[in-house]
Amino acid sequence: MRVLVTGGAGYIGSHTLVELLGQAHDVLVLDNLENSSPVVIDRVNALTNGNLEFVEGDIRDDAALDTVMDSFRPDAVIHFAGLKAVGDSMEQPLSYYDTNVRGTIGVLRAMDKVGCTRIIFSSSATVYGEPVYLPYDEAHPTNPTSVYGRTKLVSEHIISDWANASGGTGILLRYFNPVGAHASATLGEHPDGVPNNLMPFIAQVAVGKRKALSIFGDDYETPDGTGQRDYIHVVDLARAHVAAVNFAQGAKGAKTFNIGTGQPYSVREMVAAFETACGKDIPVVVAPRRAGDIAAMQADASLAKAEMGWAAEHDLNDMAASTWAWQSANPNGYED
Ligand SMILES: NC(=O)c1ccc[n+]([C@@H]2O[C@H](COP(=O)([O-])OP(=O)(O)OC[C@H]3O[C@@H](n4cnc5c(N)ncnc54)[C@H](O)[C@@H]3O)[C@@H](O)[C@H]2O)c1
């Protein structure tokens, strides 16, 4: 298939490119490099057959989208491009609605013009909000608590409405917490500034960039008192996109899938796995709970297995070991 990947130079996108090219799909990336580097494209080419096409451009630029669609004529679009920092989204809501929602409308309009009928969309478990029950299944009520989460939920509705009206196919993938890096240690996550997520933070403590990890609350009702989350290895997540592209060929309308492991790990378990991977102690400081944090959450990911034949294969040790290999080989991300 010919697959256009928006935001393909980013963390999840880059790992997905490797898996798509490995399955002999033709792939073109459209990315404005706002949160990524052109080095990613070279590294993906080095890991694969080197046939990746790249166009630097913005999904909010209708003319750029039309040009790419017209020349590439995709069979499917994987739409990663977007802004993703929850805290930032509360301070800059219009910017988040503009990129994440208007950008999605622009992508759908450009697809319509060339008759492309399939889109795979990066949604998030954050659309669920506070758990009414656990594990979250796809029927769980949605009630996002951040602007970021609302941009994802609105985009899901837009894609569903578009698919139903046009006879197209929208696969909405609700990711849990992506972590880890490519086994080659040449692709991984390199957050700007202070990492928002646990694993990159632990990794930066391990390489000496930060002094200690703050554990926000160790008195939750979990086995060791620290918060539990459902972490998913980025390579498993990347493979879920390949499964979704294949599934989309035989599907119509919108379909939502949780993409997680169903196995939650606590902060202390993550730290212990990382200590084993890097052979060092990770200093931790216990701090008060943060407002809005919940004790535990995990996915029911059985639907993705039943319908797309996809399930996560990597365990916690793979997540920690690959993150450490990437972080220690690339302490400054793609600037090395
Ligand atoms: N990483 C997570 O924890 C997580 C969890 C759930 C959902 N998601 C979603 O998955 C997608 C990919 O996430 P990621 O972690 O790889 O993020 P990322 O920031 O690494 O990748 C996003 C890519 O999109 C590009 N981009 C941003 N705005 C653009 C625009 N206007 N035009 C063209 N390109 C643009 C960036 O340069 C970047 O390469 C995002 O939509 C994100 O919201 C991520």
189 lies in some domain: no
In this structure, are 150 and 282 located in the same domain? Answer: no
pLDDT digits (tens, 9 = 90+) for 102-137: 999 999 999 999 999 999 999 999 999 999 999 999
Tokens 């029950």 identify what position? Answer: 133
In this structure, are 7 and 46 located in the same domain? Answer: yes
**Average of per-residue pLDDT across 255-260:** 98
The pLDDT score that the predictor gives to residue 336 is 58
pLDDT > 70? residue 1: yes
- Domain residues for the domain of 269 are 198-228+263-297+320-335
- Which member of 96, 136, 148, 220 is catalytic? 148
Question: What residues are paired with 4 via a beta bridge?
Answer: 28, 77
Spell out a b/e string for 135-153, using b for 16 or more CB atoms within 10 Å of the CB, else e. bbebebebebebbbbbbbb
In this structure, are 203 and 162 located in the same domain? Answer: no
In this structure, is the dihedral angle defined by the CA atoms of residues 50, 51, 57 and 60, taken in order, positive or negative?
negative
Phi, psi dihedrals of residue 115, rounded to the nearest 5°: 75, 25
pLDDT > 70? residue 305: yes
- Which atom number of ligand 1 is nearest to the Cα of residue 189? 20
pLDDT digits (tens, 9 = 90+) for 240-251: 999 999 999 999
Order of all β-strands in the sheet with 228-233: 177-179, 228-233, 264-266
pLDDT digits (tens, 9 = 90+) for 195-238: 888 999 999 999 898 999 999 999 999 999 999 999 999 999 99
In this structure, are 267 and 168 located in the same domain? Answer: no
The C-alpha atoms of residue 296 and residue 266 are separated, in whole angstroms, by 8
Q: Could you tell me whether strands 228-233 and 213-216 are parallel, antiparallel, or unpaired per DSSP bridges?
A: unpaired
pTM of the model: 0.97
CB 65 within 8 A of CB 42: no
In this structure, are 166 and 23 located in the same domain? Answer: yes
pLDDT digits (tens, 9 = 90+) for 45-90: 999 988 899 999 999 999 999 999 999 999 999 999 999 999 999 9
In this structure, are 102 and 27 located in the same domain? Answer: yes
Burial-class residue 179 by CB neighbours within 10 Å (0-12, 13-18, 19+).
buried
Single out the residue of 241, 280, 286 nearest to residue 14, CA to CA.
241
Single out the residue of 254, 259, 208, 206 nearest to residue 232, CA to CA.
259
- Which atom number of ligand 1 is nearest to the Cα of residue 175? 6
- For a substitution probing ligand 1, which of 84, 155, 256 has the most ligand atoms within 8 Å of its CB? 84
- ∠276-279-285 over CA atoms, to 5°? 80
CB 294 within 8 A of CB 230: no
Here the CATH number for the domain that contains residue 281 is: 3.90.25.10
Domain count, the chain: 2
In this structure, are 170 and 223 located in the same domain? Answer: no
pLDDT digits (tens, 9 = 90+) for 312-327: 999 999 999 999 999 9
In this structure, are 148 and 273 located in the same domain? Answer: no
In this structure, are 241 and 288 located in the same domain? Answer: no
State the chain's mean pLDDT as an integer.
96
* High-pLDDT (> 90) share of the chain, %: 93
187 lies in some domain: no
In this structure, are 144 and 221 located in the same domain? Answer: no
In this structure, are 134 and 212 located in the same domain? Answer: no
Active site residue 148: yes
pLDDT digits (tens, 9 = 90+) for 182-198: 999 999 998 888 888 89
Here the CATH number for the domain that contains residue 100 is: 3.40.50.720
The C-alpha atoms of residue 157 and residue 167 are separated, in whole angstroms, by 15
In this structure, are 218 and 70 located in the same domain? Answer: no
The C-alpha atoms of residue 242 and residue 231 are separated, in whole angstroms, by 19
Distance of CA 250 to the CA centre of its chain: 24
Q: Cα of 224 to ligand 1 centre, how many Å?
A: 33
* High-pLDDT (> 70) share of the chain, %: 100
Cα–Cα distances (Å) from 209 to 37, 104, 272, in that order, read: 21, 36, 19
Q: What's the N-to-C CA distance of the chain in angstroms?
A: 34
- Ligand 1 neighbour 31 (Cβ under 6 A): yes
The C-alpha atoms of residue 211 and residue 90 are separated, in whole angstroms, by 28
